[in-house]
Amino acid sequence: MKIHHLKPAPGAHKAKTRKGRGEAAGKGKTAGRGTKGSGARRNMPAGFEGGQMPLQRRLPKLAGFTPRNRVEYATVNLGRIDSAFDDGSEVTPEALRAKGLVRRGAAPVKILGDGQLTKTLNVAAHAFTASAAQKVEAQGGSLRVIPRRSQP
């Protein structure tokens, strides 16, 4: 036996269907494309979604950017601190987490100025808004900014 005598096993090789070669060939006339419609004609454009607004037009043209060194703070308002702590208390991120006012585990804490402050508190946090700092100092309390750990 020589290499030119080799041939595939019976039934292993099937002849390619030649579409559009007459009715006798079995795939003549519409060549398996049905009648009318865009599928029966030429190829559809890349990204065509059947008339639905295509993905490249649904998405915004300019995505903008996200700063790589953005700090996500766990925030808490003064109004909630006022109702949770007694007069003269020491307010720290650990105390806020213990009372359930701050949920995000290792995130730095920022104090926001929404709500009324009626007590004198000593507040320690990673950041304060200007209105929060003004309200705490107006009540005779003290502020202490905790330095954030630098990211590696």
Encode the chain (152 residues) as per-residue pLDDT tens digits. Answer: 899 999 999 999 988 999 889 888 889 889 888 888 877 887 888 888 888 999 999 988 888 888 888 899 999 999 999 999 999 999 999 999 999 999 877 899 999 999 999 999 999 999 999 999 999 999 999 999 999 876 54
Give the start-end residues of each E strand in 1-152: 74-77, 90-91, 109-112, 122-125, 127-128, 142-145
**CA distances from residue 29 to 21, 25, 35 in whole angstroms, order as listed:** 8, 10, 10
pLDDT of residue 152: 44
C-alpha 149/C-alpha 93 separation (Å) is 14
pLDDT of residue 38: 79
Q: Does domain 74-145 have CATH number 3.100.10.10?
A: yes
pLDDT of residue 39: 79
Mention every residue, 6+ apart, whose C-beta is less than 8 A from residue 114.
77, 78, 79
3-class state of residue 118 by DSSP: coil
Contact at 8 Å (CB) between 92 and 124?
Answer: yes
For the chain, the straight-line distance linking the first and the last C-alpha, in angstroms and rounded, comes to 70
Strand partners, 21: none
pLDDT of residue 150: 61
Domain boundaries, the chain: 74-145
**CA distances from residue 82 to 3, 85, 135, 136 in whole angstroms, order as listed:** 92, 6, 11, 10
